[in-house]
Amino acid sequence: MQKNNHFDNSAKIPKWLLTTDEYTPPKDKDNFWQKTLFSITTKLIFLRHHNYPHKNSWLNPSEKLLLIFLTIILINSAQKIFFPLIILAFSLIYLSTLNTKLIISILKPTLISTLFSLIIILPSLLPNASVKPLNLFMGI
């Protein structure tokens, strides 16, 4: 008697796998954009009408926000590490001219976001990671 050495491929497929699902998105597509624009607008209004403790600034809050966006774009488009380091140096010089309470109010959220970013990047620092962030940072 000869044995059959091939597998039986006649497995039954469940019915739920054979049915097609039809997803219809909600009709209110613009709700996300409206909420996002409303959130951005309220933050901009808050920046415009908020009294800052550092009133000796020669920029109003709208100009500061524009300058921040421009700096982010320029840092992200930089080909070498020198430009972000120069921006960091100027930021540290500016930060050193502020009073202590304002420095602490700036550094608390900065440290929290830095720790959060470190936790996100931590798995890529492991030995078996395919792309090393240090190599990306150094341009290697």
pLDDT of residue 47: 63
pLDDT of residue 29: 64
pLDDT of residue 138: 58
Vertex 47: Cα angle to 86 and 91 (nearest 5):
15
pLDDT of residue 37: 82
Cα(123)–Cα(113) distance, integer angstroms: 17
Low-confidence ranges of the chain (pLDDT < 70): 1-10, 25-26, 28-29, 47-57, 128-140
Q: Which residues contact 125 (CB under 8 A, 6 or more apart)?
A: 132, 133
Cα(107)–Cα(67) distance, integer angstroms: 19
